[in-house]
Structure 1
Amino acid sequence: MKVEERPSAAVEDWLATIPKAFNIADYLLADRVEDTNAAVTDTNGSYSYRELNELVLRAATALREMGLEPEDRILLVIGDTILFPVLFLGAIRAGIVPIPLNPLLAVEDFRYIIEDSRVKAIVTSGSEAEKIEQAASTSTRVKWIEHDNGLHGPGIGNRILAAAPYDLPIATVSDEVAFWLYSSGSTGRPKGVRHLHRNVAVTIECFSQRVLGLRSSDVVFSAAKLFFAYGLGNGLTFPFAAGARAVYLDARPTPDSVIDLLTSTYPTVFCGVPTLFASLLASPRAPELADVGLRICTSAGEALPPEIGRRFEELTGAPIIDGLGSTELLHIFLANRPGQIRYGSSGIPVPGYEARLVDEDGLTIEKADTIGELVVRGYSAAEGYWNQRDRSLATFRGHWTHTGDKYLRDSDGFYYYAGRSDDMMKVSGNWVSPFEVESALISHPAVLEAAVVPWSDVDALVKPKAYVVVRPGFEPTAELIRDLQVFVKGHLAPWKYPRWIEFVDELPKTATGKIQRFKLRGA
Structure 2
Amino acid sequence: WNFTGGTTGKPKGVPHMHRDGVVCYETFTHTVSFGTGDIILRVPKLFFHYARDPGLLFPLRDGASVILFHERTTAALIFELIRKYRPTMLLNVPTMMRAMIQAPERERSDLGCLRYCMSSGELLPARLHQEWLNTFGTEVINRYGSAESANGMLNNRPGAAVPGSSGTVAPLVEAKLVDEDGREVPRGQPGTLLARCAAAGRYYFHDHEKSRTTFLGNGWINTGDLFTQDENDCFWHAGRADQMVKVSGVWVSPLEIEHGLQECPVVTECAVLGIRDGDGLTRIKAFVVLAEGAQASAGTQDELKRFCRERMAPHKVPRGIEFMDALPKTGQGKIDRRLLRERTL
Secondary structure, counterpart of 1:370 in structure 2: coil
Aligned to 2:224: 404
Code of the aligned partner of 1:348: T
* Partner of residue 496 from structure 1, selected from 316, 320, 330: 316
Alignment pair present for 1:280 and 2:136: no
Superposed displacement of residue 429, structure 1: 4.4
Alignment pair present for 1:210 and 2:34: no
Superposed displacement of residue 454, structure 1: 0.9
Code of the aligned partner of 1:400: W
Aligned to 2:210: 391
Query: Alignment RMSD, CA only?
Result: 2.0
User: What are the within-5 Å matches in structure 2 for residues 87-486 of structure 1?
Assistant: 180-207=1-28, 209-285=29-105, 288-365=108-185, 367-398=186-217, 399-456=219-276, 460-486=280-306
Code of the aligned partner of 1:391: K
Secondary structure, counterpart of 2:83 in structure 1: helix
Superposed displacement of residue 341, structure 1: 1.7
Code of the aligned partner of 1:197: H
User: Any idea what the Cα deviations from partners look like across 1:422-447, whole Å, max 9, x if unmatched?
Assistant: 21123344432222221222232222
Secondary structure, counterpart of 1:212 in structure 2: coil
Code of the aligned partner of 1:272: N
User: Any idea what the Cα deviations from partners look like across 1:217-265, whole Å, max 9, x if unmatched?
Assistant: 2211111111121111122122112211111221111111111112221
TM-score (norm 1): 0.62
Q: Distance in 2 between matches of 1:387 and 1:521?
A: 25
Say if 1:431 and 1:212 are closer, same or farther in 2 by CA, change over 3 A.
farther
Code of the aligned partner of 2:4: S
Say if 1:494 and 1:420 are closer, same or farther in 2 by CA, change over 3 A.
same
Residues 111 and 138 in structure 2, CA contact (< 8 A), matched pair in contact too:
no
Say if 1:474 and 1:286 are closer, same or farther in 2 by CA, change over 3 A.
farther
Q: Distance in 2 between matches of 1:292 and 1:253?
A: 21
Code of the aligned partner of 1:388: D
Q: Distance in 2 between matches of 1:369 and 1:489?
A: 25
Residues 333 and 349 in structure 1, CA contact (< 8 A), matched pair in contact too:
yes
Question: How many residues of Structure 1 are paired with residues of Structure 2 in the alignment?
Answer: 342
Code of the aligned partner of 2:175: A
User: Any idea what the Cα deviations from partners look like across 1:364-418, whole Å, max 9, x if unmatched?
Assistant: 21x1232221111111112322233332222111121111212222232211112
Code of the aligned partner of 2:14: V
5+ residue gaps, structure 1: 1-179
Larger Cα Rg: Structure 1 or Structure 2?
A: 1
Secondary structure, counterpart of 1:519 in structure 2: helix
Residues 142 and 155 in structure 2, CA contact (< 8 A), matched pair in contact too:
yes
Say if 1:428 and 1:494 are closer, same or farther in 2 by CA, change over 3 A.
same
Secondary structure, counterpart of 2:222 in structure 1: strand
User: Any idea what the Cα deviations from partners look like across 1:471-502, whole Å, max 9, x if unmatched?
Assistant: 23222111111212222333444442222211
Say if 1:274 and 1:400 are closer, same or farther in 2 by CA, change over 3 A.
same
Q: Percent identity?
A: 38
Q: Distance in 2 between matches of 1:370 and 1:459?
A: 34
